[in-house]
Amino acid sequence: MSTLAKPNLSVQVSGIKMKNPVTVASGTFGLQSDNYFDLSVLGAVVPKGITLNPKEGNKPPRTIETPSGMLNAIGLQNPGIDHFIKEVLPRYEKFDIPIIINISAESAEEYALLAEKLTATGKITGIEINVSCPNLKRGGFQFGSDPKETEKVVKAVRKATDLTIITKLTPNVTDIMEIAKAAEGAGSDAISLINTLLGTSIDVKTRKFHLANVTGGLSGPAVKPVAVRMVWQCFNAVKIPIIGMGGISNANDALEFILAGATAVAVGTYNFVNPRSPFEIIEGIKNYLIENNIADINDLRGAVETV
Amino acid sequence: MLKLEDAQIVSNISLTKDFYLITFKAPKIAVEAKPGQFINVKVSPGTDPLLRRPIGILDADPEKGIIKALYFIKGKGTNILKERVEGERVSLTGPHGNGFTVSKESKNILLVGGGFGVSPLHFFASRNQDKNIFVAIGGRSAENILLEDDFKKLGAKVLVATDDGSYGDKGLVTKRVEEIIVKNKIDEVLTVGPIPMMKAVAEIAANHQIPCQVTMEERMACGSGFCFACVCKTKQGYKTVCLNGPVFNAEDLEW
């Protein structure tokens, strides 16, 4: 038991060294989470995504609950990068964990400018390129659903930074492997998936859409099987590390993603349900390794077998 | 400080067909709770329904570690909650939101509540017994009038109006607000209830140059200010109901 009492949980997502494989999905987590557990236990932190200029976001209602999930159409409400760097970023530094910043933009040049500004702070470990937010009327959605557009954005960001680049893929495509390969070919150091699945919901009483934006992104436990399938497909299609996400609510879910090929995992919507879940998932993974006599989390990556 | 607690249900009783009163043993939240704040309740374990349900706090007793909340049976979540019984545990987070803030100098406070909007107002009245509290309660009919006696027990002067005249004055409660403000030299107004009611109250308060705080409601996901789902429009753009609110100065809102 002496060695296995302390199994290795640390993983490497390209240049990002994480002391355990658990991080959070952008937009589902904030500094207020520190009320529920010590954020410095996380493998890395991903604050809410940012854009170059402040964004007001979509008209409410912006969310509706669905069976084991929810739809959201926030519209990337955020104060813009300059405010973020000055006011928000310093408050994440004290946790002494890798900081990954999720960026959205409407052109390759704008993505590059965001990457430059973030790199110049010297406080950031990774940049997650959101090419997949389904709520934007322009920009994001088109980039992530077309391999050439994805390539253009990743190349522009690659030129602008030496930081670890993670391309966050949309599941709303015919062949996610094609997009993953395009990101890899353009110089992305890693990929993260999945972003939300495009959906909608209708109130039959009022005969109106539930969301003011009409469509929104589906997330939560309902999307997990789709996400695990896509992680497994991408694991077999590219060599770069994968951060798996989509409906993770407990350690078993996280382990499913790792077995499918994810190097790290992110907790998203479940932060709303159990705000301590990232902490509990780290503990759960540790216990699983001990109980199953596995010395290193890295031995589980992609280790799924056919029945 | 937000807390997460596996709270034991002390009691869960129906006040009328549509309104329930639930009492929790939740000592950590009870110590922190202030009037106008809410708890976020996971009505059942499991993932359907997935999200917590925000419910305004009716009362908090820090010494006994008790939290009380009044809820309206609306959909799947509250229908599950009403079936939960004494002794069972329910996961709570809170207290969420900003709560009411009144000036120390304000002596005469008017509370205008519609339906179960009286709940946070009652919490305010119980924590501000040094002030002269005036209460106007409105509802569709007699069975929607809640907490009248509880306000009276606190020494508040209470006026009731129902749309159908089945109890108290007939018509909208807002008809009497102006008269109460003038007659009692009201310094501040707090209102919780349907938007049209709160708008009417805010307009009367503005006409008399009295500060008015309103309590907003919007479909919510995280309850803690991460996700920006539950926003309402203010003069400074969209603000979250869960973190920046639920209490807003009426003059800051664009509604």
User: What CATH number does the domain containing B238 carry?
Assistant: 2.10.240.10
B1–chain A nearest CA distance, Å? 6
Residues B180 and B237 occupy one common structural domain: no
Per CB-CB distance under 8 Å, the chain A contacts of B48 are 67-68
Give every residue of chain B whose pLDDT is below 50, as ranges: none
Q: What percent of chain A has pLDDT over 90?
A: 92
Residues at the binding site of B for [2Fe-2S] cluster are: 222, 227, 230, 242
What is the H or E stretch that residue B153 is in? helix B148-153
Residues B195 and B159 occupy one common structural domain: yes
Q: Does A54 score more than 90 pLDDT?
A: yes
Residues B82 and B125 occupy one common structural domain: no
CA atoms of A261 and A235, how far apart (whole Å): 5
Q: What angle do CA A110, A219, B243 make, to 5 degrees?
A: 75
Question: CB of B80 within 8 Å of any CB in chain A?
Answer: no
Beta bridge partners of A5: none
Q: Looking at the domain assignment, is residue A59 inside a domain?
A: no
Residues at the binding site of B for FAD are: 77-78
What is the tally of structural domains in chain B?
3
Q: Looking at the domain assignment, is residue A243 inside a domain?
A: yes
Residues B156 and B243 occupy one common structural domain: no
Give the CATH number of the domain where residue A130 resides.
3.20.20.70
Q: What is the pLDDT of residues A195-232, one digit of tens each?
A: 999 999 999 999 999 999 999 999 999 999 999 999 99
Q: Does A137 score more than 80 pLDDT?
A: no
B90–chain A nearest CA distance, Å? 12
Q: Looking at the domain assignment, is residue B53 inside a domain?
A: yes
Residues B144 and B203 occupy one common structural domain: yes
Q: What angle do CA B201, B203, B208 make, to 5 degrees?
A: 100
Residues B15 and B85 occupy one common structural domain: yes
Q: Which residue, among A71, A102, A218, A272, would best test binding to B if mutated, counting the most B CBs under 10 Å from its CB?
A: A272
Residues B73 and B168 occupy one common structural domain: no
Q: Looking at the domain assignment, is residue B251 inside a domain?
A: yes
Q: What is the pLDDT of residues A13-28, one digit of tens each?
A: 999 999 999 999 999 9
CB-nearest to A62 from B49, B231, B237 is B231
Query: A5 falls in which pLDDT band (50, 70, 90)?
Result: confident
Q: What is the pLDDT of residues B222-237, one digit of tens each?
A: 999 999 999 999 999 9
Q: Which residue, among A24, A28, A59, A62, would best test binding to B if mutated, counting the most B CBs under 10 Å from its CB?
A: A62
Q: Looking at the domain assignment, is residue A72 inside a domain?
A: no
Q: Looking at the domain assignment, is residue B182 inside a domain?
A: yes
Q: Taking a C-beta distance cutoff of 8 angstroms, is the pair A301, A234 a contact?
A: no
Where does residue A122 fall: left (phi above 0), alpha (psi -120 to 50 degrees), or beta otherwise?
A: left
Q: What is the pLDDT of residues B40-69, one digit of tens each?
A: 999 999 999 999 999 999 999 999 999 999
Q: Looking at the domain assignment, is residue B123 inside a domain?
A: yes
Identify the CA nearest to A107 among candidates A80, A82, A129.
Answer: A129
Q: Which two tokens stand for residue A253?
A: 């879910």
Name the average pLDDT for chain A.
94
Residues at the binding site of A are: 26, 48-49, 72-76, 102, 130, 168, 194-196, 220, 246-247, 268-269
pLDDT at A133: 52
pLDDT at B121: 98
- In this prediction, residues A86-95 reach a mean pLDDT of 95
Residues B150 and B185 occupy one common structural domain: yes
CA atoms of A87 and A77, how far apart (whole Å): 16
As a 3-state breakdown, chain A gives helix, strand, coil percent values, each rounded to 5, of 35, 20, 45
Residues B63 and B150 occupy one common structural domain: no
Q: Does A113 score more than 90 pLDDT?
A: yes
Helices then strands, counting H and E runs in chain A, come out as 10, 15
pLDDT at A132: 72
Residues B203 and B240 occupy one common structural domain: no
How far is residue A202 from each of residues A64, A210, A227, measured CA to CA in Å?
10, 5, 25
Give the CATH number of the domain where residue B210 resides.
3.40.50.80
**A69/B226 Cβ within 8 A:** no
**B222/A271 Cβ within 8 A:** yes
- In this prediction, residues A141-153 reach a mean pLDDT of 87
**A48/B228 Cβ within 8 A:** yes
Q: Looking at the domain assignment, is residue B37 inside a domain?
A: yes
Per CB-CB distance under 8 Å, the chain A contacts of B238 are 56-57, 60, 77
Q: Which residues of A touch B (CB under 8 A)?
A: 27-30, 32-33, 35-36, 48, 56-57, 60-65, 67-70, 72, 74, 77, 220-222, 249, 269, 271-276
A78–chain B nearest CA distance, Å? 9
Per CB-CB distance under 8 Å, the chain A contacts of B75 are none
Per CB-CB distance under 8 Å, the chain A contacts of B52 are 272-273
Residues B220 and B205 occupy one common structural domain: no
Residue positions of A annotated with a catalytic role? 133
Q: Taking a C-beta distance cutoff of 8 angstroms, is the pair A72, B229 a contact?
A: yes
Per CB-CB distance under 8 Å, the chain A contacts of B226 are 27-30, 32-33, 48, 271-272
Q: Taking a C-beta distance cutoff of 8 angstroms, is the pair A212, A206 a contact?
A: no
Domain boundary among B96, B122, B139: B96
Helix (H, G, I), strand (E, B) or coil at B12: strand
Q: Looking at the domain assignment, is residue A71 inside a domain?
A: no
**B238/A33 Cβ within 8 A:** no
Q: Which two tokens stand for residue B242?
A: 């869960």
CA atoms of A301 and A24, how far apart (whole Å): 19
Per CB-CB distance under 8 Å, the chain A contacts of B50 are 65, 68-70, 220-221, 269, 273
Q: Which residue, among B44, B52, B74, B224, would best test binding to A if mutated, counting the most A CBs under 10 Å from its CB?
A: B224
pLDDT at A161: 98
What pairing do the DSSP bridges indicate for beta strands A242-245 and A190-193?
Answer: parallel
Residues at the binding site of B are: 77-78, 222, 227, 230, 242
Residues B208 and B225 occupy one common structural domain: no
Task: Please give the residue range of the domain that contains residue B149.
Answer: 108-214
Task: Please give the residue range of the domain that contains residue A251.
Answer: 11-54+80-198+219-300
What pairing do the DSSP bridges indicate for beta strands B237-240 and B38-42?
Answer: unpaired
Query: A112 falls in which pLDDT band (50, 70, 90)?
Result: very high
CA atoms of A33 and A20, how far apart (whole Å): 18
pLDDT at A140: 44
Burial environment of residue A206 by CB neighbours within 10 A (0 to 12, 13 to 18, 19 or more): exposed
Helix (H, G, I), strand (E, B) or coil at A238: coil
